[in-house]
Amino acid sequence: MSQNITLSAKDRADIEKIKPMIMDNKTQLDMSRVLNLRRETVNRKIHRWVQTPDFEVWLKTAWLTKYQAVDDKTAFDALTKLLGKMVTRKQEIKEDITESRSIVIRVWNEDAIPPGNPDKV
């Protein structure tokens, strides 16, 4: 589920380096060594990235790329799992939004209000 998260220029640059490492099935620890960052920092960067529209575009593109080369089964399975989670989250949000609520609004002319008891309209 994408939100209105804006990544800093540094985060965007790091994410561009992280994308191929995800495709190469690298761990966050591996990524942290390459980027010279703490593993927790890599985790936070990825967590913020997942909440942007760029992640959804990247994930779908990566999934299609791996789908065309299904012999890389491990990456394909991992991407399929991520895609499934994203679709599930979107469905859950959609269900929350479609919950119906009623609002009653009364509109009347001031001249039509009975004298002394405005609640009985």
Distance CA 4, CA 110 (A): 45
114, amino acid identity: P
pTM for this predicted structure: 0.57
**Straight-line distance from the first to the last Cα atom of the chain, in angstroms, rounded to the nearest whole number:** 46
More reliable by pLDDT, 121 or 68: 68
Distance CA 13, CA 7 (A): 10
88, amino acid identity: T
Q: Is the pLDDT of residue 62 over 60?
A: yes
More reliable by pLDDT, 25 or 66: 25
Contacts of 46 (CB under 8 A, 6+ apart): 15, 18, 28
Q: Is 35 exposed, middle or buried (0-12, 13-18, 19+ CB in 10 A)?
A: middle
Contact 42, 27 (CB under 8 A): no
Distance CA 23, CA 21 (A): 5
Question: Which tens digits make up the pLDDT trace of 12-39?
Answer: 999 999 999 999 999 999 999 999 999 9
